[in-house]
Structure 1
Amino acid sequence: MSDLGALSYYLGIEVRQGKETLTLGQSTYASKLLERSGMAECKPYVTPMEERLKPTKASTAARVDATLYRSIVGGLRYLVHTRPYIAFTVDYVRRFMEDPEMVTGSR
């Protein structure tokens, strides 16, 4: 067994160690997830989800690639480990894994 030094990166989680602190982050992972979803150039928003969103099957929005949708939701679920404030929103969109067309419904 050999000493590999201080832990700095593990399973997509960045680890920063100070004298008395240990900080976990996923900024690189989040950036890659934004690029994969085509939202890298979007502006940040304080509220992670539109209030009173009412998904419906009667949608005029473009069709959603179900495989990409599931992949992005899975990535968001992993991101919740270091960003718990998005947990409600991620759980909400997770409900539509079987039929992602519902989440793009009318508002």
Structure 2
Amino acid sequence: MAARFRMSDLGVLSYYLGIKVRQGKEVLTLGQSAYASKLLERSGMAECKPCVTSMEERLKLTKVSTATKVDATLYRSIIGGLRYLVHMRLDIAFAVGYVSRFMKDP
């Protein structure tokens, strides 16, 4: 490709689109812990305790609620971040998909 296109060597890839890349001789490791931490801080959940399951079992959410409205822009931003995180964390896919249903009117 270098013969056909003008290129420059930027060195070993270490961070790309929120994904930390660690390259070994035979192993390539990808991680999003820093991205997930920033997402927790933005949502105000950085101090929450971790849990084994990402969603309460048999949880029923409805579109009609008496709870106070949340900032729709922030909600959509957090859900978008979670959807990006799902690419590497399949264990949260169901919960993220479930709460994504409420993006129109959080």
Name the TM-score, length of structure 2 as normaliser: 0.88
Match of 2:95 among 66, 84, 89: 89
Q: Report the alpha carbon displacement of residue 58 of structure 1 after superposing the two structures with TM.
A: 4.9
Q: Give deviations 1:10-59, integer Å, cap 9, x for gaps.
A: 11111111111111111111010000000000000100001111113453
- Higher-Rg member (1/2): 2
Q: Which residue identity lines up with residue 13 of structure 2 in the other structure?
A: L
Structure 1 position 5 matched with structure 2 position 11: yes
- Counterpart in 1 of 2:3? none
- Counterpart in 2 of 1:39? 45
Question: Which has the larger displacement, 39-48 or 81-90?
Answer: 81-90
Q: Report the alpha carbon displacement of residue 99 of structure 1 after superposing the two structures with TM.
A: 1.9
Supply the distance in 2 between the matched residues of 1:98 and 1:59 (Cα, whole angstroms): 14
Moved over 4 A (4+): none
Q: Report the alpha carbon displacement of residue 61 of structure 1 after superposing the two structures with TM.
A: 2.6
Q: Report which of the two has the higher share of helix.
A: 1
Which structure has more RCO (C-alpha within 8 Å, separation ≥ 6)? 1
Supply the distance in 2 between the matched residues of 1:2 and 1:14 (Cα, whole angstroms): 21
Q: CA RMSD in A?
A: 1.2
Supply the distance in 2 between the matched residues of 1:57 and 1:92 (Cα, whole angstroms): 12
2:14/2:22 contact within 8 Å kept = yes
Name the TM-score, length of structure 1 as normaliser: 0.87
Q: Which residue identity lines up with residue 42 of structure 2 in the other structure?
A: R
Alignment of 1:1-107 (within 5 A): 1-100=7-106
Supply the distance in 1 between the matched residues of 2:94 and 2:78 (Cα, whole angstroms): 16
Match of 1:36, SS?
helix
